[in-house]
A = this chain, B = another copy of it.
Amino acid sequence: MEILFTFIPKEDQQQRLSTEFPEVDFHFLYKDKTRLPSADIIVTYGEDLMAEDIAAAQNVQWIMVASAGIEKLPHQAIAERGITVSNVKGIHKIPMAESALAHLLSLKRSLPLIYENQRNQEWNRRTRSSELHNSTALILGPGAIGSEIGRLLQAFGVKTIGCNRSGTQALYMEEMVSFENILEKLPDADYVISILPSTQETNYLLKRAHFQAMKKTAIFMNLGRGDLVSDEVLLEALQNEEIAFAVLDVFEEEPLPKDHPYWSMNNVIVSPHVSSHSGKYVERALDVFIPNLKKWLADQTVPANLVNMEKGY
């Protein structure tokens, strides 16, 4: 049994794997594809496998993606071979929810201005701080991450409205609305926060009319995928001050091009797709992978966090 990691865990994490699975031959190789032909399992962040890599990996039966997004995998090549794909959905929930709260609280409590005044060595008490308390959030995609954001927001006294395809109840959401009826709830929201994956249904889901329906004081935060809204629509909403602020961790084009207007707009925060980053990330991925691998080795049980390559999540 040979397992290829296309990224390099820390020494102690590699040790943890070898100790748990002495019978397995682990290869930790970043940007080195020489072990593809003999790998039975591939563990990847999901951005480095092309169709020709799948062809080369003639023995592979399981691809474990140590991230949530699978849209960069060569879907057809994988589906044709019937390769099992699993991900680590859920392990992002703590860092991403903390990032969401960090960004909202920072804006509400004037941290960008406080930092700027410090750079200018200026004792300026004219901050216009406000509060999360007694506001309303609309959360697009109240799954593992979205519900964790909802739980934390509720602790701050924020009303939570969840929005998913069908409008079915989700955890830590006081109300629900379906994608179809979202326009009805947008005028209530002080924050519109998306954690939606990229699927056919979420692709450019938000149009001009959605931003026009939001409060002029609304903060739009996208931690999901950049194709939820076109730059054209979002730029227009920001330039016309139809909303007050955008916090963007994902973009139509990543990296965000050097000359993109977002960089210098004072009502946009550009976060370079890092909201899930955490020192605990690989450790948590292994916490998902190890029990899955034990079962797989015992009786080829398919792993938890199985990904449906057709649905796209």
Contact = CB atoms under 8 A, between A and B. Distances in A.
Nearest to A103: B111
A121 interface: yes
A256 B110 contact: no
Interface stretch (A14-22, A75-83, A270-278): A270-278
A311 interface: no
A229 interface: no
Contacts of A269: 114-115, 118
A114 B102 CA distance: 12
A310 to B, nearest CB: 30
B98 A101 contact: no
Contacts of A124: 272
Interface stretch (A54-62, A150-158, A290-298): A150-158
A101 B111 CA distance: 11
A183 interface: no
Interface string A262-300: 011000011111110111100000000000000000000
Interface of A: 94-95, 98-99, 101-103, 105-106, 108-112, 114-115, 117-118, 121, 123-125, 127-133, 151-152, 155-157, 254-256, 258, 263-264, 269-275, 277-280
12 contacts: A94-B133, A98-B105, A99-B129, A110-B274, A114-B269, A115-B115, A117-B272, A121-B258, A121-B263, A123-B272, A125-B272, A131-B279
Given A95-B109, A106-B106, A121-B263, 12 more contacts: A95-B131, A102-B109, A102-B111, A103-B109, A114-B269, A114-B270, A114-B271, A118-B269, A123-B255, A125-B272, A127-B277, A131-B278
| Nearest 5 pairs of A and B residues by beta carbon | A102-B105, A155-B155, A123-B255, A102-B109, A129-B277
